[in-house]
Amino acid sequence: MKKHYLITPGPTPIPPEVSSKEGLPVLHHRTSEFGVYFVEVIEGLKYVFQTRNDLFLITSSGTGGMESAVANLISAGDTAIVAASGAFGERWGKILASYGAQVVWVREPDGQAIVPSKIEEALKKNPQAKAVFGQHTETSTGVVNDVQKLGEIVSKTPAVFVLDAISGLGGQELRTDDWKADVVVAGSQKGLMTAPGLAMVSVSRKAWPLVEAAKSPRFYFDYRTLRKSIPEKETPYTPAVTLIVSMAEALRQIKDEGIENVWARHAWLAHATREGVKAMGLTIFTQTPCNVLTSINVPAGLDGKKIVKRTREEYGVSIAGGQVQLEGKIVRLAHMGYMGRFDVIIGLSALEMMLHDMGAKIELGKGVAAAQRHLQNPPAAFAPAPAPGAAAIR
């Protein structure tokens, strides 16, 4: 018998109360019974997003949600600014290029955060830019960006601010309306504690004229069609009904915990993970780490790909490696969604054991002990500052 543990930044573990709902008989999606779930899920997501904007559910991977933002906002020839510092920032650029956009890259090295003043500058140099595309947390490197500052800068221009919050939402503090994020994309399989297969997108009033004007071909992802279905309490096309019904349960759990407490829990787990990593004698890949995953530099002489493979095969613990140019150079431990103290302990202890197996200078238990010291205390100390502007959305 080998028990399996998912310590990866998506998919993530799912509460049994949520996954068991997936197995319930399928509801028809054009019925009042489904409508009740639909409304509950849309309202629950608006709470997690902290938004009063329109919010849509799309049956697709998160990448489909990203493409929906491009298809609905950008026409061929439009200028778009991409604030990138990793694989998912690059993905914005690739999608935009395939739609014929003129991409203005503001590219920071992997592992660094976006520098807000550079976005300000890019907007000044490109006043015709329709939108700035960026990441809340860059999953490939574990970086968090200063979304509040970026939102403030973009809000002073005619451009809209489009945020990939796929890995950050429901883990890292995000206040969509207060922070002026016009279009926010998320996915079901990370902080939302549901199986993969659903994307969700919020669209601000500022973004709608762009949606109405955009000439890119689109049908399935068309926000105008999605908006028309909202009063009917349904989606335009047969959605992933069982995922939606199970997500209602996940959103109930988030609401019961309270979004600020969810953010505090993630900050607490992230802090303990980082302290554990440092106590092991390893280093964190970034100076601006997010709270939903931790990227760790692989000790010299070892191959990160092998660490990931062997940790899964020998211990049943799935962790993530580096992508593209970071392949083999970092490993990533997630602490997002349905995760608590002992998920941190499992991730750190598996990493200690594997590195020790592979001949690294690792003292077993040292990283674990450092994490334990922080995990003994409750997460309350990590509570975020009160909402900066309007009252939080309940």
Which residues make up the interface to a second copy (CB under 8 A)?
4, 6, 8, 10-14, 19-29, 31, 59-64, 67, 70-71, 76, 94-95, 98-100, 187, 189, 195-197, 216-220, 222, 235-243, 312, 318
The total of other beta-carbon atoms located within 10 Å of residue 369's CB is 13
Mode of pairing for the β-strands spanning 198-203 and 54-59: antiparallel
- The answer to whether the beta carbons of residues 82 and 93 sit under 8 Å apart is yes
DSSP of 28-60, one letter per residue? Answer: PTTSHHHHHHHHHHHHHHHHHHT--SEEEEEES
User: Minimal distance in Å, beta carbon 298 to a second copy?
Assistant: 18
For a second copy, give the closer residue by CB, 26 or 385: 26
User: Minimal distance in Å, beta carbon 91 to a second copy?
Assistant: 8
Put residue 96 in one of left, alpha, beta given phi > 0 → left and psi -120 to 50 → alpha: alpha
3-state secondary structure of 105: strand
For a second copy, give the closer residue by CB, 269 or 308: 308
From edge to edge, which strands make up the β-sheet containing 102-107? 54-59, 198-203, 183-187, 160-164, 131-135, 79-84, 102-107
User: Minimal distance in Å, beta carbon 90 to a second copy?
Assistant: 12
User: Minimal distance in Å, beta carbon 115 to a second copy?
Assistant: 27
User: Minimal distance in Å, beta carbon 246 to a second copy?
Assistant: 8
For a second copy, give the closer residue by CB, 44 or 187: 187
Q: What angle do CA 366, 372, 375 make, to 5 degrees?
A: 150
User: Minimal distance in Å, beta carbon 76 to a second copy?
Assistant: 8
For a second copy, give the closer residue by CB, 101 or 362: 101
